[in-house]
Amino acid sequence: MSSIRVVVKIPTSIYPELVADLSNVQLRDRAERLRILALLGLRDVQRLPPPSVRESPAPEDMSKPDQRATATKLIQRLKGSL
């Protein structure tokens, strides 16, 4: 399995909460703690829906019928020319 190596400095002045959190963890466990915190942050950034929703993809947004109508017409014409 491939991996990347990241060496991170966390200045107390900028991330006091993060430094406080990591200070409560033993030295050898800090990287794992940081990975978990990063994953939690990433989930928030990506606004991932819960897995059950992802397993059933949402119906398409058809709220803009005019927009879709032009695109659909264009795609149909292209399919006809292939």
Partner 1 sequence: MNVLGIDIGYSNLKLAFGKAGHNPQVLLRPAGAAPADRLGEKISGKAEDDFLRVMVNGNPFVAGLSPDRAELWSRELHEDYPSTESYRALFHAGLLLSELDQVDVLVTGLPVNQYLNPDLRERLQSQMQGEHQVTPRRRITVQQVKVVPQPVGGFVDHVWNLTDASEFEESRVLVVDPGFFSVDWVLISHGELRRQSCGTSLEASSVILDEAAKLVANDFGGNIGRERLENAIRQNQTEVRLFGERIDFASYLKKAADKVGPIVATRLRESLRKENAGADIVLLVGGGAGFFEPSVKEAFPNLKVSTSDLPVFANARGFWRIGA
Rg value, the chain, Cα: 23
State which residue, 11 or 80, has the beta carbon closest to partner 1. Answer: 80
Closest approach of partner 1 to the CB of residue 52, in Å: 14
Nearest alpha-carbon partner for 36 in 48, 54, 18, 12: 18
Closest approach of partner 1 to the CB of residue 28, in Å: 22
Token duo for residue 78: 């292209």
* Residues contributing to the site for partner 1 (CB under 8 A): 1-2, 4, 54, 56-60, 64, 67-68, 70-71, 73-75, 77-82
